[in-house]
Structure 1
Amino acid sequence: RFPRNVQLCVLSFLLPSDLAAFASTCKRLVSLCRRDQRLWFSMCHRRWGSQTLINKWGSGRISYRRLYRILDEYKNLIGFWRRCGDSAAPASSSPPPVFFEWGPSYIAGSRVFPSKNKGYDAMIEKPFLWMSVAWNRKAMNYLDSDGKFVLNEEDLIGESGFVENELIRVNVGKNKITYN
């Protein structure tokens, strides 16, 4: 029989579906796979630890199993996106592409514009959306409608992690953003 820490290390390489299949083989393994915070922390850290600070999400008070699910969903946003489809605006005035990237305890969405002063290859990023999760597992999504808010380390205060009086709290769905 392997020591528990060796079991956890090996299990941390599995996907949740594989972990569920493994847990179904023995009652003792069910509690190990469902409730062990070290296992779920290792799984989160192995997958996203180089991109974000796992312990900062949810002010460090959210279960790592729940955090894994959230980060697994958020990871699909990472990268460049361009709006396409029917639009009332003419093609010449299409909206700028947006870029989503990992922050320490959030995902930031930025509009991307070509720089007029720095040559052809230079781009300017203007953050407009921050997505995170609170300690109580509620989504914390904030929109900067005028594009003037600058997120600094000292702005990361309170349970939400953001200065709420300068940003608009929103709900983010698959195809739309709605105001709270």
Structure 2
Amino acid sequence: MTNPKNRDWFQISGLLGVIAGLVLVAYEAHQANKFAEAEAIRGAGQQFRDIQVESFAGDIFEIYVKSFENPADLTDAELLRLDSWLTLMVSYWNGRVIMEKRGLMAPGAVQRFDALYDYMFGNASSVAWYSRNRGWLEPELVEIIDRRIIDPPSRSKAPLVEVLRSAIDDIGN
């Protein structure tokens, strides 16, 4: 058996250095990915809050109530605002379901969406919106909406405007 020479020790230490470097690069890539994911979630949340401020400004609740009470009286501008509001609301819940699936958010989004369904899809305008947009929704939300369209539950007795305002407060939390 021969004694290891200095050259052998240098080769071993060089090999260990390369392996350690690769491990550090992999760890750094993992950390960068987590940071980018967190930044994307923060950015999406900020974007939603900005849109939310615009969307809920003014009379959106009155328009929504009018869509239940007198849908024939809605103007084209009101229909467009209602469509935008529904897109915003369902996009928010769809995003929550996706983040919940990835483990980035506490469970419960699907159940909360199910509870709010009556006030989001209880009229002809919102069902028409759903028929145009269902392709991009998560399967869990599609299943809830399909089930409720086939077998609609009885409507709550709470005033619609108050329920909508409390739902928006819930979203802000």
Q: Normalising by the residue count of structure 2, what TM-score does the alignment of the two structures yield? A: 0.25
Return the structure number with greater helix share. 2
Higher relative contact order (CA 8 A, sep 6+): 2
Greater C-alpha Rg: 2
Which structure features the higher share of strand residues?
Answer: 1
